[in-house]
Amino acid sequence: MTIFQSIILGLIEGLTEFLPISSTAHLIIASTWLKIPESEFLKNFLISIQLGAILSVAVLYFKTLIKSPRLILKIAAAFIPTSIIGLASYKLVKNLFMESLFIIAIALIVGGVILIILEKRFSLKNKEKNETEGGLATISYRQSALIGIFQALAVIPGVSRSAATIMGGLSLGISRKNIVEFSFLLALPTMAAATGYDLYKSPPAFSPEEITVWIIGLIVSFVTAILGIKFFLKFIKKNNFISFGWYRIIIGLIVLSYLFI
């Protein structure tokens, strides 16, 4: 992998990690189209580059977490079902689904359709509700646990951890801003655990040149993830999730066309 390719993948990871469009799908698609040879380094790079995005959430929300022990407990309540389901399905998903462009394309399309349906349903039910009412404290422990169950769907590549949590939040009637921010925070334990477990299963052994490429990708993903988070928060104040649903469908159809035409 070249430094240029590392920068491109770092940009994609940072900009897509917290949007409901599946960063994993975009990274696998990009690495295929960039003609990066399959290798253990590439697999470990695509996993460990998420550390940059994790760090961006820690930096932006450190004060929020320190001031709210109850919020930390709610994040834990969401993380527990995710971790149980994730560990139970790890081998199956790795063996059957990982890196399959066909599965990714289908997951993107189906996820896009579901996101659009749930958003329209949410909009109809909450016409009179003020989106700015209440904050993260209004999310209950029960809702947190249910969001964690939804998030477990993201073990399938192409589903998107962010999309899964947002779908859960919309189904439960949680405001767009609250579910987006809760999704950011839930990424901390979820992504840290998933990345750590993957690296434990396949310990990386980088050469000096590969370490340089990895560090550059990590830094790029950290910086762009901060920009991605700020963009998403600003966007969702005046918009809904339908555009992301259509984007997923279009990208999924493009991938299917690439595979079969």
Locate the domains of the chain by residue range.
3-260
Which structure tokens are listed for 233? 């928060």
> Given pLDDT bands bounded at 50, 70 and 90, which one contains residue 208?
confident
Mean pLDDT over 128-153 rounds to 84
Q: Is the pLDDT of residue 139 over 80?
A: yes
Mean pLDDT over 203-218 rounds to 85
Min mean pLDDT across 14-28, 72-86, 199-213 is at 199-213
Which positions ≥6 away from 252 have C-beta within 8 Å? 104, 105, 106, 107, 108, 109, 112, 158
Q: Is the pLDDT of residue 128 over 80?
A: no
**pLDDT number for residue 248:** 96
Mean pLDDT over 15-44 rounds to 88
